[in-house]
Amino acid sequence: MAYSGLKDFIQTLERQDELIRVPGFVDPVLEITEIADRFSKQPGGGKALLFENTGTRFPLLINALGSEKRISLAFGRENLPSIEQEVGQLFHELLSPKDTLWEKLRLLPRLKQVSSWLPQRVKRRGRCQEVVLPAPDLGVLPILKCWPADSGRFITLPAVHTVDPESGAPNVGMYRMQVFGKELTGMHWHRHKTGAAHYRKYRELGLKMPVTVTLGGDPAYTYAATAPMPENMDEYLLAGFLRREKVRLVKCLTNDLYVPEDADIVIEGFVDPQEELIWEGPFGDHTGFYSLADYYPKFHVTCITHRRDAVYPATIVGIPPMEDAWIGKATERIFMMPIRMSMVPELLDMDLPFAGVAHNLSVVRIQKSFPGQAIKVMNSLWGAGQMMFNKFLVVVDEETDLRDYHRLIREGFARFDPATSLHFSKGPLDVLDHASSFFAYGSKLGIDLTRPVGAEVVEAAGAFAEEEAFKDAEEVPSGRFITAHYDLTCEKLAPVLLVAVRKEEGYQRELFWEQLAAHAGISRFKLVVMLDAGVDLHDLFTVVWQMGGNIDPLRDMKVVHSPAGRAVLLADATMKSSVHDGFCRDWPNVVVSDDQTIATIDRKWDELGLGAPIPSPSLKYKKMVPNDGAVKKDQL
């Protein structure tokens, strides 16, 4: 189903009871974020929100794709698995061998259908150009300041259009844009992204780089800008497939780029690669931590146009789950089959748990037939596009249910052996990874939980008996730096001990690890995880999120042997510092709202007509933030 713009999509959401209209004024500075955060963390993603009074001429839509139902509606499907089936059928028909002339002829209608999804350039002006501002001024838009330590207002849902200056191949990506003035923003191009590659080519050629940003239009455009498309493949081909109708493109007014004619808002401009970079950030990011300030290119605005009925789309990111988690879930379903058919034929399913913020944790299910196959899958996936950013990759057998997490943990730890299940590697990491010792580079860990076959069949020394793993809680390690502990065997879940640690004067991690390894009670566990004192040890979602964010596997994980001779994996998921850990990079704080904003929204909730009160999610996490600001300050 193709939508003619955000207003059209909003009407569908309203008919499906998936939208709340907010007629009263809500400030785009912090207040919209606080309300959206409360809804997005509701079970299933809450509701989409349309803020009709933003202090500008534009209403603001947020959390529009923040549930499986809404993102399926955006694609005109009943659910995400139906899209997965469509993609699988398409790839099977196009890539399977054709032995006879009749089989080849039968493919022609499918090829015609694929060609109907190709974007089309039209010569007229588009609806996105109905209104041309006499002078470009980003101040007319309700641009959000999302979190208290953000360095300013950010455009958070932009589709950024560029072209390769050598091949002419177009690209549409999504990169946040900090506003510095009426006609100036930053362009947050990560070094691994296509937009950054285009930027480097323009710099080498000594040319200015045309850039145009669109906001809104069919929500398929927004999704396509986030999708991990192969190099030189047009994102609007994917959008055409999703909406079952080609994207019609019109030429911009001040550069030669083409954009969807039914976008809501268009911001045209350029980047001069010869110009000095601008100090951009910090920004409360999708990892749940602030991404810290760095230098990025400047984007100069030359023209702003919009539809007469334009709606400004926005999103917020922060502690998961949020809207971006559901966008990631769509990517997981849409791209699973292409990965399987092109490079990992034994792949049966994959899951990106919300706590893993897309790139920190992935779990895959394979059909295993030979020794070392799980390791082969790890290496293949770490070489597959954006999977190169993955940090923890868990491989399980075909009978495992990936989405029953408690069962997955129980069955996984029954097979997990710290001495044989771990496979470390190194490679590129996401620019936003704050735990690695080096920027955008660090270690990875593959965990093989498949049934051993052939040469893999070894008798692990000190293997756990099931009845011993699930005993009632006994004496566990204690000491000066341990403030609390939680034994997961108490819930008959796994032989795992969670330990809350307060780092004080005299704390040394290696000595602390030695003391843990020497404790007799440690023999009962396969994994001991160290977390900061402010973390709720009983909230496994938060524990997994902290582990994914705060660990560099090679540096922060160590296999020791207990007094009983059993292998135990120690994992340090605490915040690191130069004082206690010798960590030389700035460590970002967890992203939370400030007390004043929380109180303001509590007070305005009823008058805004938002329904039953929802407490601020930030209240739960404030104990994890040692100080104000985006950067954690070292303390003795």
Place of tokens 């709606």: 311
Strands of the sheet containing 527-532, edge to edge, are 482-487, 496-501, 527-532, 567-572, 557-561
CB count in 10 Å sphere of residue 497 = 26
Q: Which two tokens stand for residue 486?
A: 């939680």
Which is the catalytic residue, given 218, 234, 262, 285?
285
Q: Which ranges in 404-552 belong to alpha helices (H)?
A: 405-415, 466-469, 509-518, 540-550
Which of helix, strand or coil describes residue 28? coil
The rounded distance, in Å, linking the Cα atoms of 221 and 215 is 9
Instruction: Measure Cα distances from 418 to 323, 516, 520, 559, 610 in Å.
Output: 35, 16, 18, 7, 49
Q: How many residues does the chain have?
A: 636
401 is catalytic: no
**Structure letter (DSSP) for residue 632:** P
CA 530 to chain centre: 24
Instruction: Measure Cα distances from 552 to 218, 315, 600 in Å.
Output: 39, 29, 39
Q: Which backbone phi and psi does 458 adopt, to 5 degrees?
A: -130, 155
Q: Is the peptide bond before 136 cis (omega within 30 degrees of 0)?
A: no
Q: At what angle do helices 323-342 and 219-226 cross, to 10 degrees?
A: 60
DSSP string across 117-159: TS-EE-SSPPGGGSEE-SS--GGGS-PBB-STT-SS-EE-S-E
Of 312, 304, 158, which Cα lies nearest the Cα of 224? 158
Consecutive H or E run containing 251: strand 248-251
Longest dimension (CA), the chain: 78
Region of residue 16 (left: phi > 0; alpha: psi -120 to 50; beta: else): alpha
Active-site residue numbers? 285
